[in-house]
């Protein structure tokens, strides 16, 4: 199984193909619905004004996300007596909710990968080719197991969104994922959708 470490270069991303199992290492950032909408509205489309705190977080994100990976994750987090955070559960959340935002976020911040479950759509797949970046599928229902890959919580931004929606900066080691959308226009999710639709159509055409 191939091991890769953030920050990721365009060359590494172009070398990845659908179906390839990967062990991901390095610093990545979690982000779900609230984070993606905030990034789009405040910094990409600029339909909302940014306050001083937003601007400070933005400057940090430009460095953190450059060549890195966004993880669609709503973690369960504990805090010890020393004030250190620890992930207890870190399973992937459904990615398709971020379809309106993902490609634009990836382009703006030069993010090279997104982790989630269930795959994404045509807009994201086009962005995979243009930025470039890849979509990594993580196993659903394995939140406690995946949390073992989180070796350190470096910090958290936008905690006012709530723990699941905040942007957690984490370091992972040997995080197991599979490439299911690549920078060459291939999507395993599209293949599954097409084959499933064919089976459904065949079933609906059968007489009863």
The dihedral through the CA atoms of 83, 109, 187, 200 has a sign that is positive
List % helix, strand, coil for the chain (3-state, nearest 5): 40, 30, 35
Q: Which two tokens stand for residue 121?
A: 């759509």
Q: Cα–Cα distance between 45 and 36 in angstroms, integer? A: 12
Residue among 104, 113, 133 at smallest CA distance from 36: 104
Q: Give the other-Cβ count within 10 Å of 159's Cβ.
A: 12
Question: Is 184 among the residues known to form the active site?
Answer: no
Catalytic residue among 17, 36, 72, 184: 36
Catalytic residue numbers read 36
């Amino acid at each position: 199984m191939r091991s890769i470490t953030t920050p990721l270069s365009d060359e590494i991303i172009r070398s990845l193909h659908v179906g390839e199992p990967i062990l991901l290492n390095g610093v990545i950032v979690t982000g779900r619905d609230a984070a993606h909408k905030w990034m789009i509205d405040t910094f990409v489309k600029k339909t909302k004004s940014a306050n001083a705190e937003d601007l400070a977080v933005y400057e940090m994100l430009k460095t953190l996300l450059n060549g890195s990976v966004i993880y669609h994750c709503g973690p369960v987090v504990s805090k010890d007596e020393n004030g250190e955070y620890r992930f207890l559960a870190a399973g992937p959340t459904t990615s398709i909710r971020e379809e309106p935002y993902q490609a634009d976020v990836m382009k703006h911040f030069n993010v090279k990968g997104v982790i989630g479950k269930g795959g994404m759509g045509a807009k994201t797949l086009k962005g995979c080719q243009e930025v470039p970046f890849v979509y990594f599928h993580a196993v659903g229902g394995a939140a406690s197991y995946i949390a073992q890959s989180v070796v350190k919580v470096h910090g958290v931004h936008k905690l006012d969104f709530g723990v699941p929606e905040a942007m957690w900066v984490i370091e992972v080691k040997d995080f197991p994922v599979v490439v299911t959308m690549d920078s060459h226009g291939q999507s395993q999710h599209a293949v599954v959708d097409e084959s499933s639709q064919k089976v459904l159509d065949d079933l609906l055409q059968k007489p009863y």
